[in-house]
A = this chain, B = another copy of it.
Amino acid sequence: MPTETAPRAFGEKGRRDTRQRRALRDHLAATDAFTSAQQVYDDLRASGDRVGLATVYRTLQAMADAGEVDTLRTDDGETLFRKCGPRHHHHLVCRSCGVTIEIDGPSVERWASKAADDHGFSDVTHVVELFGLCPACTKAAG
């Protein structure tokens, strides 16, 4: 337990419930697409909430550390955030509009675990994400 200097997540004692965090939390709860920090910042400003960009980054990062949001890296290096369900799951993400479906895959979990064991690797985690075009974007793309 090192001395904590980083901003605390919503679930920890000592945190403060600020206007900015409420705005962020509400915004995340209202969309199911993976969204970049920059995009969240723009959305908040557009809806009249005054929140600094640094605060958006800080808070999203804190929420990610606390497991309150899932993260995803795009090909061009942007980190996307999304408020997801509590169970372990993976994502089927539309690469055009970001709309996301949570999917689970017990067979994948088993496969990953077995591969790790077979090769003597320890402390193994996995990254499993599916990217495609959602029905709406498929139609729009002709």
A123 contacts B by Cβ under 8 Å: yes
Q: How many monomers of this protein are in the complex?
A: 2
Cβ–Cβ < 8 Å partners of A77 in chain B: 73, 77
Q: What B residues does A73 contact at CB under 8 A?
A: 73, 77
- Whether B122 pairs with A133 at a CB distance below 8 angstroms is yes
A77-B77, A108-B108 as given contacts; A125 in contact with B116, CB under 8 Å: no
Partner pick for A120 among B107, B115, B125, B134, CB 8 A cutoff: B134
Instruction: Please determine whether A116 and B132 come into contact, CB atoms closer than 8 angstroms.
Output: yes
Show 28 residue pairs from A and B whose CB-CB distance is below 8 angstroms, ordered by the A residue. Answer: A92-B116, A92-B121, A94-B121, A101-B119, A103-B115, A103-B119, A105-B108, A105-B115, A108-B108, A108-B111, A116-B130, A119-B134, A120-B134, A121-B130, A121-B135, A121-B138, A122-B133, A122-B138, A123-B132, A123-B138, A124-B130, A126-B128, A126-B129, A126-B130, A126-B131, A127-B127, A127-B131, A128-B128
Known: A103-B119, A115-B130, A127-B130. 16 other contacts (CB 8 A): A92-B116, A92-B119, A94-B121, A105-B111, A107-B111, A108-B108, A120-B134, A120-B138, A121-B130, A122-B132, A122-B133, A124-B132, A124-B133, A126-B128, A126-B129, A127-B128
